[in-house]
A and B are shown apart, each in its own frame.
Chain A
């Protein structure tokens, strides 16, 4: 069982993750991979409190890469969430054999272009996406389980490797 979904979402744990994906996938563990949050006990506790029915583990990229293989064979399912494509790329380049990421929420910021209703990318994001695609990582856009996943390349041909 183990890895059920790996999500890129700049809100990390929030309603869509806990209610929509949590209800659909029933993960036993929820990994948040974020160097900044992992360094702050208070922010870690805040994220843990946001998903009271699931075991939340807040790890640095290096810690998550080291834990990836062991989690694959762990009982129960696990979901992973990280805030941007840069972190997704760093996780993969640190050795985690992540087969796919679901882009669930990358909101507007100056310089970013709209790819989907809830996905905005700039050149740096596209560069990270391209690097992941070159490694064979599948990138799909999907906010909640009830919507249809769409390939990132179909929505934004500029990310093609």
Chain B
């Protein structure tokens, strides 16, 4: 049912991305005809790229290819779009998920602490930490972390991407290096991949601390002031049971929503972190493709993101139904 609902969304995305990329100013034929292109060679390039055909014809060709699973060729990187997405999406996902896990590990306990001790020094600390993390731009925090931990102290590895060149890429199963190296039984490379992940994940985590911590705090506060908590306390239940068994579970719903929003935002917006750490992620790929009017790449990226968000919303809905037994039933 849910999946059927997603289909018209995807169709809309395909049409809109097609029209929008072509409506943008900027001529890919000029860009890809090379740096000394004459008007004649630009025309040749335009014909080679199939851009001289009328728009409806181009659209049908595109949809035809799409239905066969062919997202076209990316001109800016010279690879098929599917290959690019297949290698870059796991890279970005790995970074984003690691950052989120790290961020949650700090933000949720911090938010809970701040909610149970409102007005105390813990609450103030939470506020300061969180505001500092979100107000500093990611490329700035990234460069500062590189400066301190790599350049000055030398304890972080070279920020050269996902894996230092002395390691070989693990055989590809999921595209997540942390998983693939374990599947291949290669602990050395696992550590190598983990080391490269630490700094960029920390940079992103500092940025995502704010919404998660604040949301946890707010949700916990509202949950803790509810009637059922008063009842539970009056009934003599221990404070741990009250906090985690009842308040936290109820506060989790808005936190999960926020997590979903943060995840979708960070996946695309971590392009700055990708640039600083030379991370071959999907954000920088999309931005570069956009600047040079690489139609196939931009459309492929938009479509991929749309599918991802549909899947993400499904997962969040599932998470809801796990957390909240009332979900899906007619709530009274």
Q: Do A and B come from one complex?
A: no
Residues of A within 8 A of B (CB): none
Residues of B within 8 A of A (CB): none
